[in-house]
Chains A and B, each alone.
Chain A
Amino acid sequence: GAVVSQHPSWVICKSGTSVKIECRSLDFQATTMFWYRQFPKQSLMLMATSNEGSKATYEQGVEKDKFLINHASLTLSTLTVTSAHPEDSSFYICSARMAGSSYEQYFGPGTRLTVT
């Protein structure tokens, strides 16, 4: 089956620093990747959609200058949380969509970010 990896799986950083999270599709090419954020005991909130080679489309209320997304290749997308603050602490999950008829999404294992 299609596998999506995320790195790191957890990270602790100090307030004011930047953190980069990688999302990779390991055995397929992902024309579209998605970044979600999840608060405890809540569902997933879509942050942005990225297509390979083009700028990401951010959802309303998501600061594009704070959450930088780069989809450099068909197998890699990165999310950089810039100047992180404690309120950015959350669970970040990426997913990748394989081009094809099913449009099924495959999810990564998630990254737990804690900003101190």
Chain B
Amino acid sequence: KQEVTQIPAALSVPEGENLVLNCSFTDSAIYNLQWFRQDPGKGLTSLLLIQSSQREQTSGRLNASLDKSSGRSTLYIAASQPGDSATYLCAVLYTGGFKTIFGAGTRLFVKA
């Protein structure tokens, strides 16, 4: 079964701290992996998209890595800010069926 798991489910850190969010997937036959941010009651905002042939992508303070062989991706957030508080979702597009499977998300709270 194609699944996506995110750890931890929730995380609280002080402002300024660097942090890592984890995503694991069960099948290495993926087309791409996408990280999203969701604020309460809002839709999804795409943060980073990593193609299966890529190892990492960077945008500002965000860096996402992809290791297909181990079925893992990490989202690194540098110098966290209170405005980073949100739920971060990992989504994997598997080549079989071309369906995007979402993880349950990590709820991040950055304390001022």
- Residue in A41, A43, A49, A108 whose CB lies within 8 Å of B103: A43
- Residue in B36, B49, B105 whose CB lies within 8 Å of A102: B49
Judging by beta carbons under 8 Å apart, are B32 and A102 in contact? yes
Q: Kindly count the residue-residue contacts between A and B in the assembled complex, taking CB atoms under 8 Å apart.
A: 49
The answer, yes or no, to whether A91 is at the interface (CB within 8 Å) is yes
Judging by beta carbons under 8 Å apart, are B31 and A103 in contact? yes
Judging by beta carbons under 8 Å apart, are B46 and A44 in contact? no
The answer, yes or no, to whether B43 is at the interface (CB within 8 Å) is yes
Judging by beta carbons under 8 Å apart, are A93 and B44 in contact? yes
The answer, yes or no, to whether A35 is at the interface (CB within 8 Å) is no
A4-23 interface code vs B (CB 8 A; 1 in, 0 out): 00100000000000000000
Judging by beta carbons under 8 Å apart, are B49 and A104 in contact? yes
Query: In the complex the two chains form, what is the Cα distance from A95 to B34 in whole Å?
Result: 13
B41-80 interface code vs A (CB 8 A; 1 in, 0 out): 1111110010100000000000000000000000000000
Sample of 10 more A-B contacts, CB < 8 Å, known A107-B45, A110-B43: A34-B100, A43-B89, A43-B102, A43-B103, A102-B51, A103-B93, A104-B32, A105-B34, A105-B93, A109-B42
Chain A interface (Cβ within 8 Å of chain B)? 6, 34, 41-44, 46, 49, 91, 93, 95, 102-110, 112
